[in-house]
A and B are shown apart, each in its own frame.
Chain A
Amino acid sequence: MIPAPFTYRRSGSVAEALDLVSEHGDEAKFLAGGHSLLPLMKLRLAMPSVLIDLGPVRELSYIRDEGAHIAIGALTRHHDLEHSGVLARSLPLLAHAAGQVGDPQVRHRGTIGGSLAHSDPASDLPATVLALDATLVARGPSGSREIAATGFFEGLFETVLEPDELLTEIRVPVPAADAAGWSFQKFTKRAIDWAIVGVAVQGTAVALVNMAGTPVRALGVERALAAGATPAEAAGHAAEGTTPGDDINASPAYREHLARVLVERALVEAQSTQA
């Protein structure tokens, strides 16, 4: 399978990428690692007429400790997140979740910004940044703006990004000492599959993978925890407010059951990692 014809453009900087996208409008798509977009293009589920390759934009590949938060360039690869000493110290949930994406070959190409902008609710990192209360930074023709992760994802493959905006940075607050416990749980049939259901927990923040059209916070669980519930009691609320899909892998009822089981496991593990 090969993608439908398109024009390939290569950009060496953020400024050049923004110029190219303003030239081509919403016919153009940014190409980061390509491991979400190219498979969709091969299936003709996406047919952009112009691809703007961000591969050479090295200025967006970094992980910086800014004290109260960690700043991550949008083109930082999963492999680099997985092996980052800064993340291992300050955001072990993110390092671990990045190491659960796909397989080593995928992690050598895929980027955090690409994964978030692609907005697949079955992906690992969207729910992870939601649990971490991250802020996303996007740059467009009129400058930069900050978007809370809670307001970023709109639906399957849809975000609040405008066609001429580029996601440039992910800012993740370093969890407070009493919220240091974390866990990432993911249920798959095969190692490299997307999660049928997944859970990211940081402190008492709980986010679900693949339980709705977007990643969602498990607000019922969080409310129960705040009221002093045990992990088992709180996990009973895991499916509240979710709208899980029905597909070849699982029925909605099965996904709701999985969410309750995985949330309990995640809360127990998060308690055990809370020093």
Chain B
Amino acid sequence: MVNGAEVAADVEDRMLLVHFLRETAGLTATNIGCDTTSCGACTVLLDGESVKSCTVLAAQADGCQVTTVEGLAGAGGELHPMQRAFRAEHGLQCGFCTPGMVMAAVSLLQENPHPTEPEVRAGLEGNLCRCTGYHNIVRAVLAAAQEPTP
């Protein structure tokens, strides 16, 4: 299941989840950055928890719930509180790290709904922003933590 819809396909045994999402499911918001489990640009939720989809086989995700940033908005297209907070706090510059950053932040708040600023920084240590826009990203996550959970 990807973003609540079943996606069924026969894929090569070695296909990575991120390629499945981008090429098979056609969901291209999830970016491939370093491809070495470092940068976090490919972060998605697997059964509700953040993972780096460049280091998960598509086959390992068989039968799991996968959520990408395309799956965050509500049915009427209204943005998720984390997306709204990133926009309001200018939590992005070039935008490349943003889908992964948003998904890592959503997972962080699910585990720790009211983090301190150091906890947000530690919670996002697996996501790199080459624009070094970290301050506004951290502000966005702290702002989203003040919103009622969707």
Q: Do A2 and B15 touch (CB < 8 A)?
A: yes
Report if A7 contacts B (CB, 8 A).
yes
Closest Cβ of chain A: how far from B14's Cβ, in Å? 5
Report if A156 contacts B (CB, 8 A).
no
Report if A1 contacts B (CB, 8 A).
yes
Q: How many residues of B contact A (CB 8 A)?
A: 31
Query: Chain A contacts of B126 at CB under 8 A?
Result: 102-106, 192
Q: Do B50 and A104 touch (CB < 8 A)?
A: yes
Closest Cβ of chain B: how far from A195's Cβ, in Å? 15
Closest Cβ of chain A: how far from B108's Cβ, in Å? 7
Interface size class of A (residues with CB under 8 A): 20 to 34
Q: Do B55 and A109 touch (CB < 8 A)?
A: yes
Identify which of residues 125-176 in chain A touch chain B, using a CB-to-CB cut-off of 8 Å.
none
Partner of A105, one of B52, B57, B62, B122: B52
Q: State the CA gap A109–B57 with chains docked (Å).
A: 12
Query: Chain B contacts of A104 at CB under 8 A?
Result: 50, 104, 107-108, 123, 125-126
Report if B49 contacts A (CB, 8 A).
yes
Closest Cβ of chain A: how far from B96's Cβ, in Å? 17
Binding site for B on A (CB under 8 A): 1-8, 10, 31, 34-35, 38-39, 42, 51, 53, 55, 79, 102-106, 108-109, 191-192
12 new A-B contacts at CB < 8 Å, known A10-B62, A53-B60: A2-B19, A6-B13, A8-B57, A8-B59, A38-B55, A103-B125, A104-B50, A105-B126, A108-B46, A108-B49, A109-B51, A109-B56
